[in-house]
A and B are shown apart, each in its own frame.
Chain A
């Protein structure tokens, strides 16, 4: 593996990150703007003894992932918005059955067929569970191709640590942007052996693999006996409470900031450029960028509240702003919101006025 930087798209970085993190099964159905992921995996996975399956639908793909995940083999799927909607049933079953999975959503505009431009319209779907029943998915939000690569390691580590679906939530910009990426596992990456160890207590393998006297195992989400589902859901609640420790955010130029822009993914990157320019004008603005969207980094955001105002910028009609307001409840901090409509490609200049305006308002 070369440590030199290579010029690749975010989608390819996702694929290389998955391969280097030990992913050995990919299941997916083509959809724009994420096609370089299945294309790269179809070429590269067989070279390292892995399995690539082009499924007949996203419904089939997510259930193949359920099967491979249940076997404790690092496996993934990728899709975009409308395809992710089709996967929600399977995601709910995996959450209910304690099955790890890595799901990449390179969002496109919606609702419905929408368009193939960038969007952050699936924020609610991603961070509030998305499927039926009470469940949560860990959600990571890359804003560069490098982060697409790095976060795949984190995604597999978290999926196996919690035996739970993990979603990498990107968009058409980070998917298609081509930039230098260092193909080197992050320092805290888990080895494939460590992932296998985490799966050893529950994976499907045939009882013969577990030595003489081993009992058959069962992975399921149905609990019909009185009180059984209640107990199961309490167990899930405990897991979601433990996940809160994984919350992660980047604070950039927030120390002296009077206004903190809250943005994730590609919008955070564009906002950063706008802030950089506005700081040259003397505006005291900074950036708070959640790297995990679930758990939402509420504590880190609240720590910034005293004496600061907030402007949420996101590419949808108002979703993350609700989590920001919840996080800051009781802090007496002003929270403004600026929405970029799904499907639009904007430059940093488009965000300068909204940020300037928020700085000026009382």
Chain B
């Protein structure tokens, strides 16, 4: 089905009732993502949070390089393209130049965890008032399935054909949510997953929190989203979801790693 046919089919006809709609922050363009990819879910969650917070009209999106390069095609907000890995530096410049704006980056694991690790960590450490959204699918998607900094031990990719192995000094999966939580400027860091309805709902709450700390001027908000890449995992979407719960979550435990608002509440409670 062509994109315009699909868009046509989504318009309610006589006798049909609309029971499910998008929100105005996400446009109705059909995405370029593969079947079973979780970028679509992540986009929808982010757009719902921006809509519910009522900040889309002052939001500036900083896109990255990878499958998420074209994020800006789907969001009805001002958008900017960053070079590979540099989204948090670009976002720093945007937020400093326009302190009244709401700024977020949307980055994959290669972009944020490898080539852009320095920019990401230092923006977070400075406590830049931006929200960093990190899509961890343990593989380079756009370039065709190469090893990522988050690739699991034993996972075969096109550049770790024998399976990622510490004995060969190929490194182990880097844990960004834990890393971010160590930094002074980070106000919120949580890892979520997009493999089940329950986890998707938790992810939306986390995203909302990561934007709220920006709006409250508390610091850098970070959310890691464990996501499926059926194409480069050579799996059907259902098996890909299963891989997230069975193979990824044990290595990347879900949870809140830092929340300065909870710390403040807890200090109040304990007097």
Chain A residues within 8 Å of B, Cβ to Cβ: 24-25, 27, 51, 53, 55-57, 59-61, 63-71, 73, 75, 89-90, 93, 97, 204-209, 216-222
Task: Name the 4 nearest CB pairs between A and B, nearest first.
Answer: A67-B93, A208-B57, A206-B58, A63-B89
**In the complex, are the beta carbons of B118 and A219 less than 8 A apart?**
no
**In the complex, are the beta carbons of A207 and B78 less than 8 A apart?**
yes
Which residues of chain B from 80 to 117 have a CB within 8 Å of any chain A CB? 80-83, 86, 89-98, 100-102
CB of B76 within 8 Å of the partner chain:
yes
Interface string of B59-94 (1 = CB under 8 A from A): 110110000010010011111111100100111111
**In the complex, are the beta carbons of A60 and B98 less than 8 A apart?**
no
Distance from B43 Cβ to chain A, minimum over Cβ atoms (Å): 14
Instruction: Select which of A68, A219, A222 is within 8 A of B97 by beta carbon.
Output: A68
Distance from B91 Cβ to chain A, minimum over Cβ atoms (Å): 6
CB of B119 within 8 Å of the partner chain:
yes
**In the complex, are the beta carbons of B122 and A204 less than 8 A apart?**
no
Task: List 7 A–B pairs whose Cβ atoms lie within 8 Å, in order of A's numbering.
Answer: A67-B92, A67-B96, A67-B97, A75-B97, A218-B81, A220-B81, A222-B69
Instruction: Select which of B78, B92, B118 is within 8 A of A64 by beta carbon.
Output: B92
Residues of chain B with a CB closer than 8 A to A204's CB = 60, 78, 80, 94, 98, 101
**In the complex, are the beta carbons of B89 and A70 less than 8 A apart?**
no
Instruction: Select which of A59, A68, A219 is within 8 A of B81 by beta carbon.
Output: A219
Query: Known contacts being A68-B97, A206-B77, is A93 close to B83, with CB within 8 Å?
Result: yes
Q: How far is the CA of A63 from the CA of B120 in the complex (A)?
A: 12
Q: How far is the CA of A24 from the CA of B77 in the complex (A)?
A: 25
Interface string of B131-170 (1 = CB under 8 A from A): 0000000000000000000000000000000000000000
Instruction: Select which of B77, B90, B95, B122 is within 8 A of A216 by beta carbon.
Output: B77
**In the complex, are the beta carbons of A24 and B57 less than 8 A apart?**
no
Distance from A44 Cβ to chain B, minimum over Cβ atoms (Å): 16
**In the complex, are the beta carbons of B93 and A68 less than 8 A apart?**
yes
**In the complex, are the beta carbons of B92 and A71 less than 8 A apart?**
no
Q: How far is the CA of A64 from the CA of B103 in the complex (A)?
A: 13
Distance from A252 Cβ to chain B, minimum over Cβ atoms (Å): 40
Distance from A54 Cβ to chain B, minimum over Cβ atoms (Å): 9
**In the complex, are the beta carbons of A65 and B83 less than 8 A apart?**
no
Q: How far is the CA of A97 from the CA of B60 in the complex (A)?
A: 16
Q: How far is the CA of A207 from the CA of B76 in the complex (A)?
A: 9
**In the complex, are the beta carbons of B93 and A25 less than 8 A apart?**
yes
Q: Which of B57, B83, B89 has the most CB of A within 10 A?
A: B89
Residues of chain B with a CB closer than 8 A to A75's CB = 93, 97
Distance from A236 Cβ to chain B, minimum over Cβ atoms (Å): 16
**In the complex, are the beta carbons of B93 and A208 less than 8 A apart?**
no
Residues of chain A with a CB closer than 8 A to B62's CB = 67
Query: Known contacts being A67-B80, A206-B60, is A220 close to B72, with CB within 8 Å?
Result: yes
Q: How far is the CA of A24 from the CA of B86 in the complex (A)?
A: 21
**In the complex, are the beta carbons of A218 and B79 less than 8 A apart?**
yes
Residues of chain A with a CB closer than 8 A to B82's CB = 63, 66-67, 93
Query: Across the two chains, which residue of chain B brings its CB closest to A69?
Result: B93
Query: Known contacts being A63-B89, A204-B98, A205-B101, is A56 close to B119, with CB within 8 Å?
Result: yes
**In the complex, are the beta carbons of A68 and B96 less than 8 A apart?**
yes
Distance from A313 Cβ to chain B, minimum over Cβ atoms (Å): 37
Interface string of B197-240 (1 = CB under 8 A from A): 00000000000000000000000000000000000000000000
Residues of chain B with a CB closer than 8 A to A70's CB = 80, 90, 93-94
Query: Across the two chains, which residue of chain B brings its CB closest to A96?
Result: B81
Distance from A264 Cβ to chain B, minimum over Cβ atoms (Å): 31
Query: Known contacts being A204-B78, A217-B79, A219-B81, is A67 close to B94, with CB within 8 Å?
Result: yes
Query: Known contacts being A63-B83, A216-B79, is A71 close to B118, with CB within 8 Å?
Result: no
Distance from B267 Cβ to chain A, minimum over Cβ atoms (Å): 30
Query: Known contacts being A60-B122, A70-B80, A205-B98, is A65 close to B93, with CB within 8 Å?
Result: yes
Query: Known contacts being A89-B83, A90-B83, A206-B57, is A57 close to B97, with CB within 8 Å?
Result: no
**In the complex, are the beta carbons of B72 and A218 less than 8 A apart?**
yes
Q: How far is the CA of A248 from the CA of B126 in the complex (A)?
A: 42
**In the complex, are the beta carbons of B96 and A53 less than 8 A apart?**
yes
Residues of chain B with a CB closer than 8 A to A89's CB = 83
Distance from A66 Cβ to chain B, minimum over Cβ atoms (Å): 5
Query: Across the two chains, which residue of chain B brings its CB closest to A217?
Result: B78
**In the complex, are the beta carbons of A64 and B81 less than 8 A apart?**
no
Q: Given A71-B94, A71-B101, A73-B97, 20 more contacts at CB 8 Å?
A: A27-B93, A51-B97, A53-B96, A56-B118, A60-B92, A63-B86, A67-B92, A67-B93, A70-B93, A90-B86, A206-B60, A207-B57, A207-B76, A216-B76, A217-B79, A218-B79, A219-B80, A220-B79, A220-B81, A222-B81
Query: Known contacts being A70-B94, A73-B98, is A205 close to B89, with CB within 8 Å?
Result: no
Distance from A39 Cβ to chain B, minimum over Cβ atoms (Å): 19
Q: How far is the CA of A51 from the CA of B119 in the complex (A)?
A: 18
**In the complex, are the beta carbons of A25 and B97 less than 8 A apart?**
yes
